[in-house]
Amino acid sequence: MTRLLFVVPPLVGHTNPLLGVAAELTRRGHRVAWAGYGELIRRLAGEDAEVHETRMPDSDLGRPPKLTGPAAFRFLWEDFFAPLAGLMAPGVDSAIREFRPDLVVADQHAVAGALVAERHGIPYVTSVTTSAELTDPLSSMPKVEAWLKGIFASLRAEFGDERCSGDPRFSPHGIVAFTGRALLGDAPLPWDGVHMVGPAIAPRAPRCDFPYGELDPGRRKVLVTLGTANADAGGRFLGEAVAALEGLRETVQGIVVDPGGVLGVPREQTGPGQSGLLVREYVPQLDLLPHLDAVVCHGGHNTVCESLWHGVPLVLAPIRDDQPIVSGQVVDAGAGVRVRFNRVDAPRLAAAVTSVLDPAGGHKEAAEAIGRSFREAGGARAAADHLDRIAAQAANYQAAG
């Protein structure tokens, strides 16, 4: 039996891909524990999950809504991920001492997992939940890259092993990436040991109900979602999306996710007007995707990959972080079209939706092709196979030593 410690940040999109991997490893007789924000981990992985609590920020990530580009990236590391590493490190250290893992699986943005494993001399594997950083986008921004290396050096001096010098976001022992070449394209990868397994689509505990009986079988279904971390930035866009979908109501039924309540629709109502448009605080996205014909989203990697896994084409309105890169990959693959988040209006958004719904555009066909390649990549089972191999190699090395 191998012991594996999963270290994750307090972000749903960084935890979800590992749920199926943890379940598969447990099914094989291994023991899996988690280090991170216990409330979130238990909500996603189940109350029976073995969790080692770490300290967390006192408040959610509160980025100015208009902060984008390199400034948003710097804010993300300077004000969230770097302080998060400092907060998590003591708890990760305690988890390693108590759980005594054979292998640590650290999300690439929970660098405390990598650094503390490094200090203890335990091999670690990086979990990569977005394809954006695999292509090293900072290579074109040398000042930002140098600044980030300085952050890592400071964190390593305090929590890691100063004899090491690599980027803690990319383990020398192995990288499991929840994406595939069909989306990533043919760009060379600057990191060694990348193992692409496609999305890890696994059943999730339902967080909310959904009125499936109100879906109109005679119309195409389009979901609009900006993910869990963009409620503060999405008011104008969601308003335009509602107007666009109302304009298409004869042939399209819209489902709009509004977690921040910016549309002002009471939760007990299904939506404005008589078009059958549904406005919901949350939706069971994985369960809903087989019913959909298109998704309008922010270009978040999980939503993109889950949609493509189901063969659903996309309209992409990237806001910040990895979203512009991921959106570009989707467009280059022919599986969607891109609009400008801050400028698109209802007519342009309606035209984009119409475009991806038109079979002649080839977007559906491209999405289905990517979906097939994702399923063939193996997902959670392939990730578990890879972690099994790395753990066995580490055990053999330690036995020989």
The domain that holds 61 is classified in CATH as 3.40.50.2000
Strand arrangement, sheet containing 103-107:
51-53, 31-36, 3-7, 103-107, 124-128, 175-177, 194-196
Token pair listed for 250: 């004869």
Token pair listed for 157: 């001096």
**Does the residue 206 lie in any domain?**
no
User: Can you tell me whether residue 52 is helix, strand or coil?
Assistant: strand
**Are residues 163 and 21 located together in one domain of the fold?**
yes
How does pLDDT run along the chain (401 residues), one tens digit per residue? 899 999 999 998 899 999 999 999 999 999 999 999 999 999 999 999 999 999 998 766 555 556 556 666 777 888 899 999 999 999 999 999 999 999 999 999 999 999 999 999 999 999 999 888 787 766 667 888 898 899 999 999 999 999 998 999 999 999 999 999 999 888 788 788 999 999 998 776 666 789 999 999 999 999 999 986 555 567 899 999 999 999 999 999 999 999 888 887 654 445 444 578 999 999 999 999 999 999 999 999 999 999 999 999 999 999 887 899 899 999 999 999 999 999 999 999 999 999 999 999 999 999 999 999 999 999 999 999 999 999 988 766 555 44
**Are residues 156 and 228 located together in one domain of the fold?**
no
**Are residues 172 and 268 located together in one domain of the fold?**
no
**Are residues 25 and 131 located together in one domain of the fold?**
yes
**Does the residue 207 lie in any domain?**
no
What is the domain extent for residue 173?
3-198+378-400
**Are residues 226 and 192 located together in one domain of the fold?**
no
**Are residues 229 and 287 located together in one domain of the fold?**
yes
**Are residues 242 and 356 located together in one domain of the fold?**
yes
**Are residues 247 and 146 located together in one domain of the fold?**
no
Burial of 295 (0-12, 13-18, 19+ CB in 10 A): buried
CB atoms closer than 10 angstroms to residue 78: 13
The pTM score is 0.88
Structural domain total, the chain = 2
List b or e across 20-29, with b for residues whose CB sees 16 or more CB atoms inside 10 angstroms. Answer: bbbbbbeeee
**Are residues 59 and 193 located together in one domain of the fold?**
yes
**Are residues 121 and 233 located together in one domain of the fold?**
no
Q: How far is CA 351 from the centre of its chain?
A: 28
Q: How far is CA 272 from the centre of its chain?
A: 30
